[in-house]
Amino acid sequence: MKSFIYLSLLLSALQVHCHHDSGDRIIFEDPPPSLEDKRMKTRYASKIAPGNADFAFRFYKQIASDAAAKNIFFSPLSICTAFAMLTLAAKFETQSQIYKGLGFNLSETEEHEIHKGFHQLLHLLNDPNNKAQVNLGNALFVEESLKILPKFLEDIRMVYQGEGFSANFQNSAAVKNQINDYVQTKTHGKISHAVDDLDPRTVMVLLNYIYFKANWKDSFSSDLTKEDDFFVDANTTVKVPLMYRNGNYNYLRDDDLFCCVVEVPYKGDATAFFILPDRGKLEHVETALAVKTLAKWKASFRSEEIHLYLPKFSISASYDVKDLLQKLGVVDAFSDNADLSGITGERDLKVSKAVHKAVVDVHESGTEAAAVTVVEIAPRFGSASPDTIIKFDSPFLFTIVESFTDIPLFLGKIVNPTEK
């Protein structure tokens, strides 16, 4: 995969160490490799965490409103990161709508603090010493003839560690293969078709990928996994492999929301929360999903020995992010009103398509998951007690969270574990 000359020359001229000056340039210093004072070095990442979590739950509810009886799985962090990068190019109302849609209040958090947060988050999650493997990254594929402002390229490179590649979008099949090969490599083969087809007018693709692989802190024994009934609804039952483990977990029963919550930690800086609604109460729990709900659960956990039954499952999902974000008020970026003049200096581009794909495998050893968010840009004009038993044998919710910042990496709902 070749980097085109125009882009590579601009990127190679950039320096690694920078600062935030008095103008509108967003410049950073990479944190030193030592993480002994993690709280200080990730203060901006922690500051954007509530906004990321708020977006996760609002985006989930938009999906659920159209997919009440379907499995759901996505990475809110991947979508947030991709569109946070887009704000580097967006101006005025276009930018304002994106920030608001992502859950950021500029009267509380300044723009440079948001970008510093994502910058720090990239370093935090990509820490090679973390036993929970997380690879989060960004890339830009640009039409060879498109002249891009140096500042936009510099910010993508320095703030979001983005890689830049040339692409001949006149040969859409070749570009599609170029992008798909890149994503397949970065997600360790989990996502092989990030792009199914390209808008014929596309001149740039901006993407974010995330890959996650971690072992449970206490693994399940495959010898204890047995086939059992899973009650999809009142009229549908399917057979699924249910994993089993007896051990101590953070657990609570929420009588107000009619559900049980179990925290199942991974080795490293990640943990999973599995939420089991009472029969018929799934929508009730979904409606209550919010940052404050997760915080309440975490504060109310108690360690208890339980008999935990959890299904093995492997699912994938694909979403039209454009449609879902428009419902959250991000409208102008996708229309002829778009102001993405930070890319070329002209108001000549808009987002033509935005797609998100995600996959997850949950098994006895742990979890492997990946997601990609692809944003296509085109010209604007043209076309319990020891006897407590928690059995996840009916539709449930789950989220995988980075332990230090509480940022949700993935969020999902399992209605039928047998549907891939």
Which structural domains are found in the chain, ordered by start?
Answer: 5-214+316-379 (3.30.497.10), 216-314+385-414 (2.30.39.10)
Instruction: Spell out the alpha helix ranges (H) of 301-394.
Output: 321-327, 341-344
Half-sphere exposure of 96 (CA within 13 A, CB side): 3
The residue behind tokens 């940022």 is: 407
> What's the pLDDT score for residue 88?
96
| This prediction's pTM | 0.89
CA distance 402 to 277: 23
The residue behind tokens 């340039």 is: 25
Cβ atoms within 10 Å of 68's Cβ, excluding its own:
13
CA distance 98 to 80: 10
Instruction: Tell me which amino acid residue 182 is.
Output: Y
SS3 175: helix
CB 368, CB 213: distance < 8 Å? yes
Q: Cα angle vertex 146, ends 143, 151, to 5°? A: 115
> What's the pLDDT score for residue 42?
82
Q: Which pair of structure tokens corresponds to residue 402?
A: 């980075």
> What's the pLDDT score for residue 24?
55
State CA 2 to chain mean position distance. 27
The phi, psi pair for 313, rounded to 5°, reads -155, 155
CA distance 274 to 380: 43
Q: Which residues contact 131 (CB under 8 A, 6 or more apart)?
A: 214, 215, 266, 267, 268, 269
Q: Which pair of structure tokens corresponds to residue 241?
A: 């492999």
* Residue among 206, 176, 209, 174 nearest 191 (CA): 209
CB 10, CB 154: distance < 8 Å? yes
Summarize pLDDT for 260-312 with one digit per residue, the tens: 999 999 999 999 999 999 998 999 999 999 999 999 999 999 999 999 999 99
CA distance 169 to 225: 49
Based on its alpha-carbon atoms, the radius of gyration of the chain, rounded to whole angstroms, reads: 22
> What's the pLDDT score for residue 26?
57
Instruction: Tell me which amino acid residue 310 is.
Output: L
Low-confidence ranges of the chain (pLDDT < 50): 1-23, 32-33, 35, 383-386
Cβ atoms within 10 Å of 105's Cβ, excluding its own:
11
Helices and strands, number each (H, E), in the chain: 12, 15
DSSP β-bridge partners for residue 245: 308
> What's the pLDDT score for residue 17?
35
299 burial (CB, 10 Å; 0-12 / 13-18 / 19+) is: exposed
> What's the pLDDT score for residue 94?
96
Please give the torsion angle defined by the CA atoms of residues 85, 90, 94 and 100, in that order, rounded to the nearest 10 degrees: 40
Outline where DSSP puts E strands in 255-333.
259-265, 270-277, 302-311, 313-320
> What's the pLDDT score for residue 389?
87
> What's the pLDDT score for residue 169?
92
State CA 8 to chain mean position distance. 28
State CA 1 to chain mean position distance. 25
CA distance 173 to 171: 6
> What's the pLDDT score for residue 404?
85
SS3 330: coil
